[in-house]
Structure 1
Amino acid sequence: MRKVIVVMSTYNGSKYIEAQLDSIFRQKGVKIMCYVRDDGSTDDTLQRLKSYTSTSGKLIVEEGENVGWERSFLLALKNAPQADYYAFADQDDIWFEDKLISGIKMLEKEGPKNKPCMYHCNKISVTEDLKPLAHQVRRTPRPLNRQNALIQEYAQGCSIIMNENARQLVTKYIPREKIAHDFWCGLLCYLFGEVIYDNIPHFYHISHGNNASGEGHMIGSWKGRLKKFFAGGTVYYTPFSDLEKGYADMLSKTDKEFILKLKYYKKSFKTKLSLLFSFQFVRDSILGTCSLKMAVLFNKL
């Protein structure tokens, strides 16, 4: 039976954490251990975690300082015990009983055995009483190309399962900047490994209106970008500096040339034009691409 470490970062999630843990430990066909890093909760999340008991798996709790959910997930993945596979979990969703075994079977059937490989799946966005939302976010199986991968997240963290090679790849270097764990894992596994997508939903993603990542809140996402645009901040984050620091030896010549464009486009009108008219440097929607090009034009990357 495959051993799976479910990696979770918690923060003030006492209201939901037990239901999520129940759904994790109900998983069929796998041997479960849940490794939780608490990111400095100020409610009774830690107490609930420590008092939680399961007859079908083991729960390990790490008490951490508050570093933000982005870094907390990556630290938890790095510190977790070794297993056959690793899966991220949010603190407030509900998993279907076949979530892990379905992903593992696809990884073993379609993925390479000695290469970093990441699986991610679809989900059903629901209200707190598990009623499906009218709008379901369309998932992107994988980036359009290597340039798109640097500017657009595609895999949702709580849907990700990865093998040991992928864990080693992702935790080789922990980014200095705050970058979402799913963006970082998805980027590295796409650039240097393999990505497998399952369009079948395998969990309920519960919309509480205050989810840390904001996943699925399209209006809120656009409002956030507009606010950044007019406030003088960057609209899109591209993790090229962390890629250079941690993975320079693995980047191709073409990757390095493109990173140089991103680094210096504000100083070179010619470079800015090349980004503006590039058919590779796009997002997966017309509106998103227009927004990206506007960000380049007004130095908002």
Structure 2
Amino acid sequence: MANPKVVICMSTYNGEKYLDQQLDSFIAQHYQNWQLIIHDDGSTDGTKAIIRRYMEQDRRIRLIQNDGHLGIKKAFLTLLSQEEGEFYAFSDQDDVWHADKLDILVQRMKREDPLVPTLIYSRYDEIDGAGNPLPASTRNAIYSTKLKDFLLINTATGCTCLLNHSLRDELIRSTHKLNYSSIHMHDWWAALVSSALGQVIFVDQELVSYRQHGNNVLGAPDRANFVKRLGRFLQFRESRIVSSGSRQARELLRLYGSELGSEQTALIQGVAALFQGWAPLKKRRFLKDNGLFIRSKFLNIETILLLWMWPSLRERIFSHYRS
């Protein structure tokens, strides 16, 4: 596998403002054996015209037609089955890839057993809407490779990820049974499945410029300042993260439970049942004993408060912020 093909999966929606910069960054990659497949989720601006213009210039770019509106989670996971390749990458419509991104991730992935489901991801830097660098966050970013950490929070940002064919196969074989409302986002789900069935690897280099602007579907997790985070905390807005983790754990057990070891199963079952019933002391002990608290004071405090809430009140909060 001297020159493996990378399939880049992109979902677009009204992305005309920044799309050409992202597409230019693909064309400028040092690693050139890639195929870009795009699902447009119903754009009403000039997004599709931009895509068609680039398709005329580069035969490696293809727009998938007639899929209709899928939503971002289903769009990305559906794209995995639309093209054969050795490796797969997710891309947003508004970032900029560093020229060495694919080369570095591909060379790292080539060192791994292709039969083991594997996801590799990297750091990113941040830019504003005009492409200017944003100051580095003063908070210590979390970059994990362990299943226990992916159960309650995602640290693998989709635009930095590379998946091997084995992981891709694991993901697409369950898509027809997947309850998309039970997963938070496609990248978190891919990292969770990979950490449970295979491995996740972190590359400690900034390989993507992640754009922060008013229309992000999701923003970078470290960008919010203290006041904003405090405001979200007081409204229990962070609850959607841990509630998503618990729902995803249940979905992981449903779809892949027969392939998990006994220790993995016990850990996942504990997270899946975290907000079911009322046993705050027992469940707090479970979190502590398994090292499931993360480096986020707000999120950890909010999780404890949620455990102490009466289940009906807790469910009303979860329903309000459910993704």
Residues 148 and 295 of structure 1: CA distance in aligned 2, closer, same or farther (over 3 Å): farther
Match of 1:131 in 2: 132
For the pair 1:173 / 2:167, whether they are aligned, the reply is: no
**Equivalent residue in structure 2 for 1:90, among 85, 88, 92:** 92
For the pair 1:53 / 2:60, whether they are aligned, the reply is: no
Match of 1:242 in 2: 251
Deviation at 1:276, TM superposition (A): 5.4
- 8 Å Cα contact 1:155-1:186 kept in structure 2: yes
Match of 1:74 in 2: 77
Aligned partners of 2:196 and 2:257: how far apart in 1? Answer: 12
With 147-156 and 216-225 compared, the bigger mean Cα shift is at 216-225
Matches within 5 A, 1:1-301: 1-53=3-55, 55=57, 57-63=59-65, 64-77=67-80, 79-109=81-111, 111-136=112-137, 138-143=140-145, 145-174=146-175, 175-176=178-179, 177=181, 178-216=183-221, 217-219=223-225, 223-224=231-232, 226-228=234-236, 236-238=243-245, 239-265=248-274, 266-269=276-279, 271-275=282-286, 277-298=288-309, 299=311, 300=314
- 8 Å Cα contact 2:125-2:136 kept in structure 1: no
With 30-39 and 56-65 compared, the bigger mean Cα shift is at 56-65
Q: Which has the higher strand share?
A: 1
Point out where structure 1 has 5 or more consecutive residues left out of the alignment.
none
The CA RMSD measured in Å over matched residues stands at 2.6
Aligned partners of 2:92 and 2:62: how far apart in 1? Answer: 16
Deviation at 1:55, TM superposition (A): 4.9
Deviation at 1:185, TM superposition (A): 1.0
Percent identity over the alignment?
23
Q: Secondary structure at the match of 1:53?
A: helix
> Paired residues, what number?
297
Q: Secondary structure at the match of 2:208?
A: strand
Letter in 1 for 2:157: Q
Point out where structure 2 has 5 or more consecutive residues left out of the alignment.
319-323
Deviation at 1:30, TM superposition (A): 3.0
